[in-house]
Structure 1
């Protein structure tokens, strides 16, 4: 069988014996440490690549033009952890939708569209009230 392997591989017997001795030797601690270092470096490289691709995907989605969409969300208000009110504009008509886990219901079709400046969002009432309270508190301390 050995003669068959030597004939097939065309390698001298001494070369095969030397290779067999290398395989039989136990790995030194330096070799194991180097392999663990390579493994960790490769793992960090793959994780870093995943984060880089996620960041690039987010950037590309933000760059994509959104002005020519037929459906536009005008405003949204959270009612609870799973429930929201969403004001949607479709072809010049505004519709108030109730969105819950697994359901979307049309609540009202507005006769007159609510006008908001482009890019302007309605400030939340809680934030306004908090700023008023903080403003009063700071005035009282001065």
Structure 2
């Protein structure tokens, strides 16, 4: 991954240096030179350039998602076992770290460990995978019901 980042940075530096060199060289253009192909050709070139840039953005987004997915393979070390809202912006979180469970208080200004449980709480597997109601309804409307995949 570091090699890819270095290669991208090197490519970006090379392209930037070529642009600077090209901008530094004086170019003589005849004053009355007509544009080759006229307005239609310029418009087509602009649209093609825009499509290339948008395609590059989508490709880099896809590449980033692929790289993040490969890093997160395997069992999660830290897992949120349960959560409970105790106010509009305040929450209690039960976190599983290895074989230990920690009760955490989360407010907009802080996160505090409230208690380390001596005996882990058994939570049913279906309760851990609970999807919030809005998210579940949105997935159903989009035709991607997660409950059917199991």
1:135 corresponds to: none
Distance, in Å, in 2 between the alignment partners of 1:94 and 1:52 is 40
Pick closer, same or farther for the CA change 1:124–1:55 going to 2, 3 Å: closer
Q: Deviations over 1:88-120 (max 9, x none)?
A: 122421011122223101222223212246686
1:72 corresponds to: 79
Confirm whether residue 43 of structure 1 aligns to residue 50 of structure 2. Answer: yes
Q: Secondary structure of 1:51's partner?
A: helix
Distance, in Å, in 2 between the alignment partners of 1:55 and 1:80 is 37
Distance, in Å, in 2 between the alignment partners of 1:105 and 1:68 is 21
1:82 and 1:100 in contact (8 A); partners too: yes
Confirm whether residue 83 of structure 1 aligns to residue 93 of structure 2. Answer: no
* Runs of 5+ unmatched residues, structure 2: 1-27, 135-150
The count of residues paired between Structure 1 and Structure 2 equals: 107
Write out aligned runs for 1:117-132 (5 A).
121-123=128-130
Distance, in Å, in 2 between the alignment partners of 1:121 and 1:94 is 14
Please, which of 79, 99, 103 is the counterpart of residue 96 of structure 1? Answer: 103
Question: Offset at 1:38?
Answer: 1.5
What is the root-mean-square deviation in Å for CA atoms of aligned residues? 3.6
Q: TM-score, normalised by structure 2?
A: 0.51
Q: TM-score, normalised by structure 1?
A: 0.53
Please, which of 101, 105, 116 is the counterpart of residue 109 of structure 1? Answer: 116
1:97 and 1:104 in contact (8 A); partners too: yes
* Runs of 5+ unmatched residues, structure 1: 1-19, 128-142
Q: Which structure has the bigger radius of gyration? A: 1
Distance, in Å, in 2 between the alignment partners of 1:78 and 1:27 is 68
1:75 and 1:122 in contact (8 A); partners too: no
